[in-house]
Amino acid sequence: MPEYLKSARPQEARDADDAKVRATVEAALGEIESRGDAAVREMSEKFDGYAPESFRLSEAEIEALIARVAPRDLDDIRFAQEQVKGFARAQRASMLDVEVEPHPGVILGHRHIPVQSVGCYVPGGKFPMVASAHMSVATAAVAGVPRIVACTPPFQGEPNPAVIAAMHLGGAHEIHVLGGIQAVGAMALGTETMPAVDMLIGPGNAYVAEAKRQLFGRVGIDLLAGPTETMVIADETVDAEMCATDLLGQAEHGYDSPAVLVTNSRRLAEETMAEIDRLLGILPTAATAAVSWRDYGQVILCADHDEMLKVANDIASEHVQVMTDRDDWYLEQMTAYGALFLGPRTNVANGDKVIGTNHTLPTRRAGRYTGGLWVGKFLKTHSYQKILTDEAAAMIGAYGSRLCLLEGFVAHAEQCNLRVRRYGGRNVPFGAAAE
């Protein structure tokens, strides 16, 4: 039985928070749907203190912002995007169109078709999330999406030049300086100045994640990527400094970012908690990270690796850093997570910013039923069929006729019977089964 040396806030308190978020988002989306641009402008002014003449940046404005980015930073952005695009290209190459002929004259196939318009949300109110542009915009471009809309909130009262550069270099066709519910709602529902998209992409805070949840069905979504989560699975092959650093590296994202240590070493658990306290005393972002650790941090002591595995699969954390004497065993055995980071030489920040795998990942246990964002999320797999010969039309039609009537569908059966009569030269009575 696992022992919790440190526990997070009770689930009941989190549920109460979720209920408040749901109500706020529902009201805001209703305003956007009924009042369009006027509601979007009011929300931007209220929440971000930002209400320019146009939220969409012109080409001249984009170029002027990019010119403010240091050459070294632009080079780093280009390097990171090439890693992300390179991995996305490899993924795309694995997705093949299919065409088979199971019977002479019967052709079945499928094609992968890009979603025709996507809205990419790039968070940036607290920290300018440059890397989120690579993960959404650049990946959509590799998939061949013909209209890529990108939204990001103002940072300290203006567009963040590095984020805008990343969006532009990644391949965005429209860039809007707009954040939160108002951005997601405008992209999905459409306004007088922003035609609606077909799909919403990207991470965000609890309000953005809830807006995506409520809008699902009106548009597609990649996944529910809410406040970031991290888990460190560790044994005594690593030390407390490594564990504490990797936990706080994600806890600084926001005030509600779960960080969990799962270990079979009481010594490592206790030393890690002490090291976290020490690091919080010197970390510039401690005001955020300390709240997340206090309210959402957990330290779970397990009897052995089997129990650690069970706990990890049950929590299904977004990021799982594995530092043990059997990292590949966890790779083979884990079934529920966003992404794995195997061994002490890599870390979650590599995945967040540069290594090439996508950082938009499932949160809140969604890793039980979905993986993260990848090039395939931007592609729809559509099937097709055709029959090339009279003989095949009559043969398949006869089977179809009988199977339709087995279910009581007479009009369905007549679709098949007509082909048996016309292409097979057989007189099938109306509404009867073809022999």
How confident is the model over 101-111, as pLDDT tens digits?
999 999 999 99
First to last CA, the chain: 64
- Say if CB 201 and CB 177 are below 8 A apart: no
Burial of 281 (0-12, 13-18, 19+ CB in 10 A): exposed
8-state DSSP, 56:
B
pTM of the complete model: 0.92
Supply the pLDDT for residue 201: 96
Residue 176: phi, psi to the nearest 5?
-120, 135
**What is the enclosing helix (H) or strand (E) of 309?**
helix 305-315
Model pLDDT, residue 287: 95
Q: Find the mean pLDDT for residues 141-156.
A: 97
pLDDT of residue 215: 98
When pLDDT is cut at 50, 70 and 90, the band that residue 12 belongs to is confident
Token digits of residue 96: 């093949």
Residue 141: per-residue pLDDT = 98
| Side chain identity at residue 209, one-letter code | A
β-pair type (3-6, 297-301): antiparallel
CA-to-CA distance for 108 and 142, rounded, in angstroms?
Answer: 27
8 Å CB contact between 381 and 94 = no
Q: Is the pLDDT of residue 13 over 80?
A: no
The runs of H, that is alpha helices, within 108-265 are: 130-133, 139-143, 161-170, 180-189, 206-215, 240-251
For 303, the enclosing helix (H) or strand (E) is none
Domains of the chain: 16-222+376-380 (3.40.50.1980), 227-367 (3.40.50.1980), 389-434 (no CATH)
Of the listed ranges 96-100, 328-332, 359-363, 408-412, the least confidently predicted one is 359-363
Residues 6+ apart with CB under 8 A from 166: 77, 81, 122, 130, 131, 133, 134, 137
Encoded tokens for 434: 């073809």
Name the pLDDT band for 59 (thresholds 50, 70, 90).
very high
pLDDT band at 127 (very low <50, low <70, confident <90, very high): confident
Q: Tell me how far apart the alpha carbons of residues 236 and 264 are, in angstroms, rounded to a whole number.
A: 8
- Sort 237 into a burial class: Cβ within 10 Å, 0-12 / 13-18 / 19+: middle
pLDDT score at 316 = 97
The per-residue pLDDT of the chain, averaged, comes to 96
CA dihedral over 259, 265, 269, 272, signed as positive or negative: negative
Mean pLDDT on 31-59: 97
Query: For the residues 343-363, what does the mean pLDDT come to?
Result: 95
Taking residues 262-268, what's their average pLDDT? 98
Model pLDDT, residue 73: 98
pLDDT value of position 16: 79
pLDDT value of position 126 = 78
Q: Residue 214 is encoded by which pair of tokens?
A: 């409520």
Predicted confidence at residue 354, as pLDDT, reads 94
Beta pairing partners, 384: 109
Q: How confident is the model at residue 145 (pLDDT cuts 50, 70, 90)?
A: very high
Region 146-170 average pLDDT: 97
Closest residue by Cα to residue 139 from 248, 222, 232: 222
d(CA 270, CA 221): 41
Question: Which letter, b or e, does each residue of 285-310 get, where b requires 16 or more Cβ atoms within 10 Å of its Cβ?
Answer: ebebbbbbbeebbbbbbbeebebbbe
> Count of residues for the chain?
435
pLDDT on residue 226: 73
pLDDT given at position 224:
83
Query: 3-class DSSP state for residue 254?
Result: coil
Give which of 61, 124, 91 is closest to 254, Cα–Cα.
124
**Percentage, residues of the chain above pLDDT 70:** 100
What tens digit of pLDDT does each residue of 205-239 get?
A: 889 999 999 999 999 999 987 789 999 999 999 99
Catalytic residues: 318-319
Closest CA to 255 of 305, 214, 298, 290: 290
Distances (CA, A) of 147 to 36, 126, 172, 387: 21, 28, 8, 35
pLDDT in tens, 277-331: 999 999 999 999 999 999 999 999 999 999 999 999 999 999 999 999 999 999 9
Band of pLDDT at residue 11, cut at 50, 70 and 90: confident
**Could you identify the residue written with the tokens 């884990």?**
334
Banded pLDDT at 67 (limits 50, 70, 90): very high
Residue 204 pLDDT exceeds 90: no
Angle at 359 between CA 110 and CA 281, to 5 degrees: 170
In angstroms, the CA 204 to CA 219 distance is: 17
Per-residue pLDDT at 125: 73
- Listed range (167-171, 297-301, 359-363) with the worst mean pLDDT: 359-363
Predicted confidence at residue 98, as pLDDT, reads: 98
State the number of CA atoms in the 13 A half-sphere of 178 facing the CB: 29
| Cβ atoms < 10 Å from Cβ of 73 | 15
Edge-first strand listing for the sheet containing 319-323: 3-6, 297-301, 259-263, 230-234, 319-323, 339-342
> pLDDT at residue 38 above 90?
yes
Q: If you average pLDDT over residues 254-283, what whole number do you get?
A: 96
pLDDT given for residue 422 in this prediction:
97
Q: Is the pLDDT of residue 346 over 90?
A: yes
